[in-house]
Amino acid sequence: MGKIIVSQNAISKIAAIATEKCYGVVGLYPIKLGDRFLYFFGKSTPTRGIETRIDNSKVKINLYVIIQGGIKVSEVAQTIIEQVTYEIKKFTHIKDVDVNVIVKGVKREEYAE
């Protein structure tokens, strides 16, 4: 039987797409200097807030997110962990996935009207 290799970048992208769909997340925080530079000039890289490490068949992901203010942060973070883990497992069939959420910022509440 052959081997399937899923690259780090591919996993980061899946994680990015999954994170953006999570309720309560209003942004990914650029962690790499280069990404931050691009972000500053209005050009965003899709995987800017995502750190993926692959160790044999283990995947470890750190997500740096900005969360909407006025929401229960712990619940949102828990949901992100669950949803991102679920999506990665679903698409890649990797069994050992460890997702950490680092809340880098909170967006100020905007009142309706």
Q: List the alpha helices (DSSP H) in the chain.
A: 8-20, 33-40, 73-92
Among 1, 4, 33, 112, binds another protein (CB under 8 A): 112
Give how far the C-alpha of residue 101 lies from the chain's centroid of Cα atoms, to the nearest Å: 8
Does 82 participate in binding another protein (rule CB under 8 A)? Answer: yes
Please say which residue, 11 or 18, places its beta carbon nearer to another protein. 18
Among 22, 59, 61, 101, binds another protein (CB under 8 A): 22
Please say which residue, 98 or 102, places its beta carbon nearer to another protein. 98
Among 34, 37, 53, 70, binds another protein (CB under 8 A): 70
Backbone phi and psi for residue 98, each to the nearest 5 degrees, phi listed first: -125, 115
Tally: H helices and E strands in the chain: 3, 4
Q: Taking CB under 8 A as the criterion, which residues in 40-69 touch another protein?
A: 68
Phi/psi zone of residue 39: left (φ > 0), alpha (ψ -120 to 50 degrees), beta? alpha
Residues in the site for another protein, rule: CB under 8 A?
A: 20-27, 68, 70-72, 75-76, 79, 81-83, 85-86, 95-96, 98, 110-113
